[in-house]
Chains A and B, each alone.
Chain A
Amino acid sequence: MNETADSARQQQPADVLEEHPAVAGATVTDGGRHARIVPDPAGAGVLHRSLALEAAGRLGAALGWHEPAGEVRVAGLNRSETEFLHREIFTDNAYFRHGITLPAGAVVVDVGANIGMFTLCAARRSPGARIIAVEPVDELADAIALNAELHEVDATVLRTALGRAEGEAEFTFYPHNSVMSGRFADRAEDLEVLKGYLLTGENAQRGEHLDRLAADRMTARTRRVPVTTLGAVVRRHGLDRIDLLKIDVEKAEAEVLDGIDDDLWPRIDRIVMEVHDVDGRLAAVLADLRAHGFDVAVEQDARLALTPCHTLYARRPRTDTAPGLLSAPAGGPTLRRLEEELRALVARRLPSVPAPVRYTLAADLTGTGDQELAGERGVPASPRVAVLARIWSELFGPEAVRPDADFFDLGGDSLTAVRLMATLESELGEDALTPDLIFTDSTFGALAAAVEASGDAERTART
């Protein structure tokens, strides 16, 4: 291919990409394969802000960008948990059921906010909502603050646990399974709950994998966290009412309720909470809520059928139950949606020119170097390697993403290899990695080089 043709092949699509309202600027390099996109602050507010937040170092070492189902861009600890939370909260709409709705400008207290997925959902359902997100795990609280800023949500993040009295408590954080972290964590008991979940539904894992996977997910860190009461939070933040109290605190739910003062109870309109039904707790909480004048419905998610987890939906009889609408996400497209739209745009406008296959975000069009991947400690980064790194991290944990980490030493077996290759294949196409390579050199560094090289081979074959 001569230089002029190459330049035409790159300039034309770049011009077309810039027609998209979410694109402020674009360059196409790498023989027309790679598009660098500067998101437009108005047309792609979330992407634009995510670049700025990342540049400010707000992702830290623990967080990464995830786009569950391609629908929303959020900072999360690990992709599978982010996807779980998104599915539970947005796709399955686990909270707004049984007459639970939100008025505009609602006051919402999100107890056990994790990365703030419910906070985002509540904001979408109640324009002008004020949200108090309570999360004692610092890494998660960082994510909530980041996600609230990213999506321009009015959220106050409180880095504390809630209980029946103020003080301090021991708190177990499961970094690979943050949704089960809590003050009353019991590794053996939680392991059974996790296994119950892993055995059910979409995420079902097979036997011999299950134990290893579950054990890995239950790697625990214990820390001391401050504890306050819901009554104190309401007083401190001058809340005159709570339209919706959401509680998901892994076995500390009764304690949270105990921290509600008598004069606060009548000012709470709705409660949605997960209850771990151990020692008759479900019946006790039900009785408590009904005694406080709530109509209560109980439901158990099919995926949690093998666990003691139930969800309670409590509301005052007077509350409006007309289903509210989930407003369309503001802030423009996710990167995945934008990619799809840009591919379609190029295909429509330049039918004879292949659309770029890789799309990366850039704050401006100066400089050409690819970004180093966060947390990879020296592995050369590229979009293909980033895909491998993500899958590797999902299989073995983020700390295993380093050049000398060996697939088999990490416990990989032939079926793990199949999963690695199948996932790679679905994202990078067939032959992104052949099984021989895992057999001959099984370190992450070697496989990353192979995945990169298979991209070159594919490129050569196409040109």
Chain B
Amino acid sequence: MPTRSEPVGAPGDGTPAALAHALLDTASITRATEDRLRVAPAQPLAARSLPAAQELLDRVGSALGVPELEVVGEPDGLTAAELAVGRRLSLRAPGAVADGEPERAARAALAAFPGPAVVVPARDGTPLRCWAAGPEDAPAVAVVSACGMPVGLVRRWLGALAAQYRVVTWESRGLFAADDGPGLGAPADHTLDAQSEDVLAVLDGFGIAEAHALGLCGGAVVALAAAARSHRITSLSLWHGDYELAGEAPKTAHQRDVESLLTMVSRGRAQAAAMHRLMSRPTTLETLRADIAHYLIHPYATPELLYRYGLLNGAIMSADCRPLLDAPQPTLVVTSDRDTTAHPAGSKFVAARLPRAELRTMPDGDHLTAFDGGHELTALAAEFLHTVTAPDRKGT
């Protein structure tokens, strides 16, 4: 946790503390990128201020152990991923920096919730970057995020659930570099089977016998697949799920576009590199919600990431979910008629087919709001979790 004597730093206030949090928040991209990323200041800086900004960035980054970045004066020519990182860092001309402040800021940021990743091996040995929080003897909840999304995107869910539950989560196999390792490592098995096994491997890693699986977007499919394969998943909640149902329910144009994209990029690294070039245009950023763009853009940040994302998320988006819909666990299915990303009809179909599902169609919620873990959704989750986590089910 941050020490009380240091400023915590608000995003973009230019303090070492704010910079440290932002650097960690964007580290999934910088660690996965071979070349040094370039970042531009939030507002144009006087040329003489650039070296100072670079120096502070280097000191904080070095204390965090994240890759170096290059500060450039103007955003012209930067890729969408570089712009996303730059916007999150929101570099300014540094003010006075106290002795040792960058290092203290780095330590505080590293210790901040949800803390550093714990690496747990998957069944096939692929390292999974995991996080756990909350009382160890509380009922467990596995948060299954959307494929390729950094842990930061579900931080609020983790925080909300950790008060009452033992909550665990992890980042998709093969799509995230280790804190200190040389990049992404070898490509991992990308099948839905392997991805759903990861749910159980993570539970094993933390000594959890059984858990509720909370699946978001494509994570809903992984959670459903895990529930279908193991009784250790005792209940499910599926939030704005993105399901392939072989035409039984309509899909949005976005779903079809992303499927086409994944199919194209998964054909090979050359195709992925070509598409990556197209997607690196700054305008890509305009389609992403600004406050979370640096998370959303992660799987598109490098050609290799895009290729692997095509395989991994392609496996999720193309897997026919209908055979999974006999999972007997009590399930909460949540969607909204305003979700124009993952068609609500998919959730409605899934809820109607699952033997013990309850459907909640929220009046609002545009898909990304599911990740925000706002009060309404976490209260709904808490209400459902209360009904399915009896005292004798508490974790081991």
Contacts and interface: CB of A to CB of B under 8 A. Distances in A.
> Which of B258, B274, B275, B337 lies at the interface centre, i.e. has the most chain A CB atoms within 10 A of its CB?
B275
B5 interface: no
Given A202-B250, A204-B343, A415 B257 contact: yes
Contact of A419 (B257, B271, B275, B287): B257
Contacts of B251: 204
Interface residues of B, number: 30
Contacts of A207: 254, 340-341, 366
A419 B250 contact: no
B284 to A, nearest CB: 5
A209 B337 contact: no
B260 interface: yes
A21 B256 CA distance: 40
A206 B259 CA distance: 13
Contacts of A415: 254, 257-258, 261, 287
Dominant secondary structure of chain B at its interface with chain A: helix
B277 A439 contact: yes
B229 interface: no
A434 to B, nearest CB: 5
> Which of B263, B274, B340 lies at the interface centre, i.e. has the most chain A CB atoms within 10 A of its CB?
B340
A215 interface: no
B250 A418 contact: no
A417 B287 CA distance: 14
B366 A435 contact: no
B343 A419 contact: no
A422 interface: yes
Nearest to B262: A418
Nearest to A412: B283
A419 B259 CA distance: 10
A209 B275 CA distance: 20
Dominant secondary structure of chain A at its interface with chain B: helix
A201 B250 contact: yes
Nearest to A437: B274
Given A204-B250, A206-B341, A436-B274, A422 B287 contact: no
Contact of A206 (B257, B261, B278, B286): B257
B281 interface: yes
Contacts of B164: none
B250 A414 contact: no
B178 interface: no
Contacts of B366: 207
B278 A209 contact: no
B79 to A, nearest CB: 12
A92 to B, nearest CB: 14
B253 A204 contact: yes
B221 interface: no
Contacts of A3: none
A199 interface: yes
A11 interface: no
Interface string A183-198: 0000000000000000
24 contacts: A199-B252, A204-B340, A205-B253, A205-B340, A206-B340, A207-B341, A207-B366, A209-B253, A209-B254, A210-B340, A306-B337, A408-B281, A413-B286, A414-B283, A414-B287, A415-B254, A415-B258, A415-B261, A418-B260, A422-B263, A422-B264, A434-B274, A436-B277, A436-B278
Given A306-B337, A414-B281, A435-B278, 18 more contacts: A200-B250, A204-B250, A206-B252, A206-B253, A206-B255, A206-B257, A206-B340, A207-B254, A207-B341, A209-B254, A210-B340, A408-B281, A415-B287, A419-B257, A422-B260, A422-B263, A435-B271, A439-B281
- Which 7 interchain pairs have the tightest Cβ spacing? A206-B254, A422-B260, A207-B340, A204-B252, A435-B278, A205-B253, A415-B257
Interface of B: 250-258, 260-261, 263-264, 267, 271, 274-275, 277-279, 281, 283-284, 286-287, 337, 340-341, 343, 366
